[in-house]
Structure 1
């Protein structure tokens, strides 16, 4: 069913307006216009502070100045800003020159275009004037205080229970992660480096995984990375099952496409595996060939000895369990030469909120070209992580595998 987002916007029970980066009203929903006491013609297309100027008769009314500062901060910092309670008087639409004392609780948030620039700013407001007036009535303040105290106590109790539950889950999840993502054993004489960086602000465990398998047919190895949707113990458990299944399947499959096809059939019966992405590459060192297949995952990257970078994106299919009935998956083959390097990674390395994925891929390619003289995969892995992961961390896990070819 197609969703009419314009109708949804107008039907929102909260008061919401859309502003351009020049702070001109692009749209306002019915609740906003009703709350502000204005018609669409009085608002849409007008500069915010022309439609709602500050009260010139009261120098203590700082709502307009504070709102403009908040909106400018959103445009500069590209982050949501929740304002403190504001007094922002509104001129009466029926009696020009008369100002009504009003109190508002605003939140401002950026809306990003595909190329990453801010296209609009969401301005959501909730009026609390009547609530404040209620506290000024006899007994109103005491009743409100008692109700707020009761709710704060209930919230504290809930938060404390959640904190204890999260702490227990984190301990178990970390132990599970260490068991399922150990430092890989040497793969024959081949030089390989792996890195895992947990997300910030989470249980320190997501569903990202990596795997390296020595194949029995000649001088071949299989390299894979994957990403289960979600965080915490459940995602870690699903990750472990999928990683083990792919590791076993790769040893008997005819190639990466068949390995992912079988894994997709297994994921179809595994709760929590929905929308999992994975990519696997079979590396034949004797024939200097890489055969790969991707289930909705970011493409592996081949750094060639001459400093050029190639995205291995010619065999991409939907994520595991995306189709009602699993079907054969595509695979592609590319040649490599001695001195090339192959990288597989999860989306935490290249994806950032409000940024198109192509920008992240370009940054990764640039980092590889800049560090192309690093022939040791350990050194290259560290350099890539340092270039791509900011010091404050990211909100998604990152797994990285670097294979020297």
Structure 2
């Protein structure tokens, strides 16, 4: 049997465990046969209905908080874009045949996101491990120990939930510190003589995947400016620290090197001594307004975009080499030159602007080119804002993004 012949809808229905799919609005989109059987619900009583309509909390027992805890877990998944493993929960499930009668059930849920092309959560996968019979078996005949065992299990569940909440708050603090550190390390926007330049940084909104991207602008002798962007693998405080070291090293190298390629060679050698710098990508450019040229070299980074006055976009991809630390031996990096006409625009960016899950990078590059064409008459400040607004999801960006727009 080939993959193309597999009926995944039938596979989902036949899964041996309880699995359901919910929309971000917490409406059941589907449920497999095992979920319906063990929940004591028909498909019509589940699919298309809100979670609280299918499984309301028992209004007569404040201790039955399973559904409320499940709602909190789903919100964590929607906010973070990451899976959430819950401790065992007690649910009071109302009988469909005898309304008003509630049965104690014990379920251990795992909730995971299904992400769309733009990185937003489009579905929630809700997998449940049914452990009711295990609890009853451990309680003994007649359930004489059920209340004591239940209390013990709930104590452990509360402890796990408290640990998860402390971890969540710690991660949130780390994210705030990392963002503050990055803001301190990145250069403040400043005029480059009479050249029009816009810089932007947008952190990820749904994960801790922030603080690895950087940009740099270097005013050089003559009528020249160096512009670079880079992306450190990793996230959080560690990535912010590595980013600061590499940005400073490339900035210094650009001031003394004989062009972008040599600057990246120096950076690559330095990166070997920095833990966490492996596989960093970067692109360095040298703009010469006297010769109307852009010299460039890339270490595994998405190509700069050169927007022409007529709306044509050339991606500068003729000097691309592997990321930092990808080769065991030092090899000179390539360098290429592109000519420009006054009024053209050079755009450097990191992969968060163009890359989407399960999408070829050429699709993202085409999307960027179309956006630049639409806004080719705008000043860099307005162009930067417009491109970010069009290409980044407003509330669900899964990667941070750096953007530099230079009017040539």
Q: TM-score, normalised by structure 2?
A: 0.71
Task: Name stretches of at least 5 consecutive residues in structure 1 with no aligned partner.
Answer: 1-5, 7-17, 37-47, 71-76, 88-101
3-state SS in 1 of match to 2:232? strand
Q: Is the 8 Å Cα contact of residues 12 and 32 (structure 2) preserved in structure 1?
A: no
Residue number among 165, 187, 194 corresponding to 1:189 in the alignment: 194
Give the structure 1 partner of residue 178 of structure 2: 173
Q: 1:227 to 1:81 in 2, by over 3 A?
A: closer
Equivalent-residue separation in structure 2 for 1:261 and 1:140 (angstroms): 68
Equivalences, count: 348
Equivalent-residue separation in structure 2 for 1:227 and 1:174 (angstroms): 15
Equivalent-residue separation in structure 2 for 1:80 and 1:328 (angstroms): 40
Q: Is the 8 Å Cα contact of residues 13 and 33 (structure 2) preserved in structure 1?
A: no
Give the structure 2 partner of residue 386 of structure 1: 389
Q: 1:192 to 1:66 in 2, by over 3 A?
A: farther
Give the structure 2 partner of residue 148 of structure 1: 154
Q: 1:110 to 1:185 in 2, by over 3 A?
A: closer
Stretch moving more, 225-234 or 196-205:
196-205
Residue number among 31, 37, 40 corresponding to 1:61 in the alignment: 40
CA deviations over 1:193-238 (Å, ceiling 9, x no partner): 101111114569511100011222x321111001112222211111
Equivalent-residue separation in structure 2 for 1:304 and 1:352 (angstroms): 26
Q: Is the 8 Å Cα contact of residues 209 and 399 (structure 2) preserved in structure 1?
A: no
**1:218-257, aligned counterparts within 5 Å?**
218-257=222-261
Q: 1:341 to 1:175 in 2, by over 3 A?
A: same
3-state SS in 2 of match to 1:230? coil
> Cα distance, 1:332 vs. partner?
1.7
Residue number among 352, 364, 367 corresponding to 2:368 in the alignment: 364
Equivalent-residue separation in structure 2 for 1:108 and 1:306 (angstroms): 49
Equivalent-residue separation in structure 2 for 1:387 and 1:53 (angstroms): 40
Task: Name stretches of at least 5 consecutive residues in structure 2 with no aligned partner.
Answer: 19-29, 50-77, 94-104
1:138 pairs with 2:124: no
Give the structure 1 partner of residue 22 of structure 2: none
> Cα distance, 1:64 vs. partner?
4.3
Q: 1:249 to 1:390 in 2, by over 3 A?
A: same
Equivalent-residue separation in structure 2 for 1:389 and 1:122 (angstroms): 25
> Cα distance, 1:152 vs. partner?
1.4
> Cα distance, 1:144 vs. partner?
2.6
Q: Is the 8 Å Cα contact of residues 201 and 395 (structure 1) preserved in structure 2?
A: yes
Residue number among 297, 316, 319 corresponding to 1:315 in the alignment: 319
3-state SS in 2 of match to 1:24? helix
**1:205-224, aligned counterparts within 5 Å?**
205-216=210-221, 218-224=222-228
Q: 1:268 to 1:372 in 2, by over 3 A?
A: same
1:294 pairs with 2:281: no
Give the structure 2 partner of residue 126 of structure 1: 129
Q: TM-score, normalised by structure 1?
A: 0.72
> Cα distance, 1:148 vs. partner?
2.2
Q: 1:295 to 1:140 in 2, by over 3 A?
A: same
